[in-house]
Structures are given as structure tokens and as C-alpha cells.
Amino acid sequence: MTTSPIQQPKASHFINGRYVEDSDGAALNSTYPATGEVIAELHSATPSIVDQALAAADAARAGWAAMTGSERGRILRRAAEIIRTRNHELSVMETYDTGKPLQETLIADAASGADCLEYFGSIAAGLTGEHIQLGADFAYTIREPLGVCVGLGAWNYPTQIACWKAAPALACGNTMVFKPSETTPLGALKLAEILSEAGLPDGVFNVVQGYGDVGAALVEDKRVAKVSLTGSVPTGRKVYAAAAAGMKHVTMELGGKSPLIIFDDASIEDAISAAINGNFYSSGQICSNGTRVFVQKGILPHFLARLKTRTERAVIGDPMDETTNFGPMVSQGQLDITLRYIEKGIEEGATLITGGKAHEMGGLYIEPTVFSDVTDDMAIAREEIFGPVMSVLPFETEEEVMARANDTEFGLAAGVFTSDLTRAHRVVKGFEAGTCWINAYNLTPIEMPFGGVKASGVGRENAHAAIEHYSEVKSVYVGLSPVEAAF
Ligand code: NDP
């Protein structure tokens, strides 16, 4: 018996406009990370379910692509409105699925999904080709959908990730089969339900549950034209390789170990706020987090003292209490990984400023942790932890810190705090990262492209940039002159 307010979904999968079950699939449960309570009992997709979903997406392709952009956009915007109206209920569900505090989910999850549906719903009507005059002849281009797209999601922002993939794909006239992370199966199902309620034709957006093997089966299927993954770099390498075998389009939103550089002329309180947001929001489970905080030597003692004081003010507790601003980790696995990295940091000689252990509340709670005296070669400075562990690294000069900031296989994001605007732009120009912030951190409005370089990814989500990754251009040359031939 569950005591949570979350209703068990009608079935595990949503295919062709309705809930579908196949209880032969392996058990796949969603648990509330704060208590361990099972809130939904589902099944992983069987090969038959995978086939049904792809067949539905394939069959819906022509009809959806034939609709005008305005018609498609209207449905997406209607879905955005439904999400906004039901934001509280959806946020409660997201909190139960992920453990993230309601204080966060009320503003960052379904709400950002609605922004995304509204944005792509608004630009769908304006997606056109171009006219190219060629003397007496001319050419034009037609922007065409790719076909059936597969979306694979991570567990940290289940609803937002589903929207970030579905909205641009659907706006361009594609159909989609989306597989959420096995850890957080609920948000994508709700999105499918809401899109259907908004008038989306059956089969255009389908959701199947499953573990990595289900994701792999989707990626390998011949009916699939494009794969968009949000996940770790190791999974990204596998999915990219499988997609390449079928010459499929990809978008890869992968992990990071992003630098946040704080110069001595910065507003220190703002920089600390950014470091806190960029390390402890969602209990540190955010891909773009600025987990390597480089602080110029002159301000280091003051910075660390204020950072410690402010970090220790975190309100850790029941995620459903709206005063809580730091919740549990999503799973035992993620908690164990994080605790192991903390131990490694101590072993390697970093200085623990605050936190450093599982929280006295027990369960999946952990203390927000700050290390200083971190050196570039330590594991906590090189590897993505995906937990609330901040590494503070001192630096002296701009030249030195830029080389150190870029000395990583990752390139998802980077930030700089300084009051010298010339320096800020110079630093940003030098970052090897896809998404950068000046005197801000981790803000990802839908209007701004988001994505990584180097091992952190391929392609961009959000903004007009996403359109390029969910459509292709057909060129048409129109001859109006006599055709000449050599013989
Ligand atoms: P994973 O890489 O473990 O999984 C991502 C998704 O891929 C899941 O749905 C997973 O299924 C699926 N999957 C796993 N193996 C395969 C395979 N061989 N073929 C196809 N699909 C597969 O990531 P996590 O869920 O653990 O999420 C954390 C990671 O995501 C971090 O590295 C983080 O940085 C990154 N991330 C990146 C973001 C970005 O935008 N750049 C945003 C958010 C997170 P299952 O879970 O069922 O195994």
C-alpha cells in the first residue's frame, strides 16, 4: 500500500494514443527517494512493445508531417497550457519520482517543459526553406522532418528532458518514441497523456519504459532516423556508435565537469550564490554544474568562509515541505557513487570545508560538501560525480586558470564572475565549452541553445538551433533556361 498521492499509471507504456501493458516485461518500479516507498509498479518493454511503439510512430509520420506548422504548433501550445494549469499536481509527481524538493519542481520542471512546448509551438508555423536566385534559374530549399526520432532520457529532469526532445521534434513534423530513465518513469507518461489531450494525433509521441537494453533496441531499429540522448558519456559513446552503424542523426547531451572561474574583482556574494546553485541545486544532480570552482587567491579565505556559512544554511529534509531546499539523492546507487568520491577526495588530500558524509537523517540524504585545496589531478576534479560535491581550486592568473579550466575531456558548460567586462568576454571566448555564463550560472532559458563540445556532446537543444537537429534541407534546382550539353 502506498501512502503517496501519486496514482499508479494506467499501464507502463503509452503507444498510439493509449496506455498499453505487457506484464511479461521485467519489473520496473518508481520509488520515492525520500522514503523508499514504491509509488508505481511498471514493466520494462518487451520486444513486442518496442515494435508496437515504433510501428505506431512510423504509421503516424506521414499524417503529422502533412499538417501545417500552424496546426502542429497549436497542439504544442495547448499542451503547454494544460501543463501550466496542472503544474502543482505535476510537480508533486516529479518530486515523488525524483526526490527533488517541491520548492524546485514547482518552478523548474513541468514549468520549463511548458516553456519549451510553447516556444516550439510558436515557431512551428515559421519553419520555412529559402529561395536562392541563380541568374535566370533559381533554387529553393524545403525543410523536411527526419522521420521517427528516439528520445532517451536521464533521471534528473525527467519531464523537462522529455519536453526538450519532443517539442522541437514534433514542431518539425517528426514522430517520437521516448524512453525515460528506468529510475524516473512517470513524467514522460504524463507528457504523452497531456499531448494526447491537447489533440496530438495517435502515434506521434509514444513512451516505452525500459532499461538500457530497450534503449539499445530502439536505437538499432531501421525505422529510426534520429536518436537524441541525455545521459552519461559512456552511454553516449555506445549510443553514438550504434546510431552511426545505421547512419542516423544524433543529438548527444552528455556529462560534464564544468569550470566556474571567480576573479578577485567579482561580486563575491553573487559568485557564491552561483557556486551554490551550480553545485547543490537538485542535490548536485545536474549535468552542467560548475563543479570545479576556481577562485583567485586574494579572495580565497573570505570566499571559503562565506561559502561554508551559506552552505550550512541548506534546509535539508522532507522534499514535500516547501521550505526544504535540499533533498535526497535519486537512488542508492547515486548516493554510493557520491560517498565514494568524497572518500577519494579526503584520501587524495583535499581539505574538507563542510559536509563530507551521509546526512544524519539517513536514507538517501547526503550533506552538501565543499572541498578546498583541490588540485587538477585529483579524481574529484577530473571525473563527473553527479552529486553535491564542490571542488574549490585556487588560481593566480587568467592565463593559468584558462589552461586549467580547459584541461578536461568534457566541454558542456563554463562560467566566469568578474566586474571587468573585457576580461569576461575574453575568458568566454577562450572556454572550450558549449554553454557559457558571465556573472550568472546554470540558467538555461528555452530561447538559448544548450549543449556541449568535446566529450560532452554533439548538437544543440533548445532555441532555433534545435530545429537544425530535427529537420533536414532538401535543395531543388529549377531550370528556366535551355539545357546545354557538350554533344
Ligand atoms: P545514463 O547514461 O546511464 O542513461 C541515459 C539513458 O540512456 C537512460 O534512459 C538509459 O536507460 C539509457 N541507456 C543506457 N544504456 C543504453 C544503451 N546501450 N543504448 C541505449 N540507451 C541506453 O545516464 P543517467 O540516467 O545515469 O543520467 C546521468 C547522466 O546524464 C550524467 O552523466 C549527466 O551528466 C547526464 N546528463 C546530461 C545532461 C545534458 O543535457 N548534457 C542533462 C542531464 C543529465 P536506463 O536508465 O534504463 O539504463
| 171-203 confidence digits (pLDDT tens) | 999 999 999 999 999 999 999 999 999 999 999
Burial class (CB within 10 angstroms; exposed 0-12, middle 13-18, buried 19+) of 215: buried
- pLDDT given at position 34: 97
Residue 19: which residues within 8 A CB-CB, separation 6 or more? 9, 10, 11, 13
165 is catalytic: yes
The stretch 449-467 carries a mean pLDDT of 98
Instruction: Answer whether 140 contacts ligand 1 (Cβ < 6 A).
Output: no
pLDDT tens track for 306-341? 999 999 999 999 999 999 999 999 999 999 999 999
> Model-level pTM?
0.97
Asked if residue 379 has pLDDT above 60, the reply is: yes
Residues above pLDDT 70, as percent of the chain:
100
287 is catalytic: yes
- pLDDT given at position 447: 98
Give 1's pLDDT tier (boundaries 50, 70, 90). very low
Out of 100, 118, 165, 398, pick the active-site residue: 165
Out of 287, 367, 384, 398, pick the active-site residue: 287
Q: What is the mean pLDDT of the chain?
A: 98
Give residue 231 CA to ligand 1 midpoint distance, Å.
Answer: 3
Residues above pLDDT 90, as percent of the chain:
99
Asked if residue 132 has pLDDT above 70, the reply is: yes
The stretch 376-396 carries a mean pLDDT of 98
Instruction: Answer whether 325 contacts ligand 1 (Cβ < 6 A).
Output: no
- pLDDT given at position 4: 86
CA–CA separation, 417 vs 294, rounded Å? Answer: 10
149 is catalytic: no
Closest to 460 in 3D by CA, of 240, 254, 170: 254
Nearest CA to ligand 1 atom 1: 231
172 is catalytic: no
Instruction: Answer whether 154 contacts ligand 1 (Cβ < 6 A).
Output: yes
Asked if residue 125 has pLDDT above 50, the reply is: yes
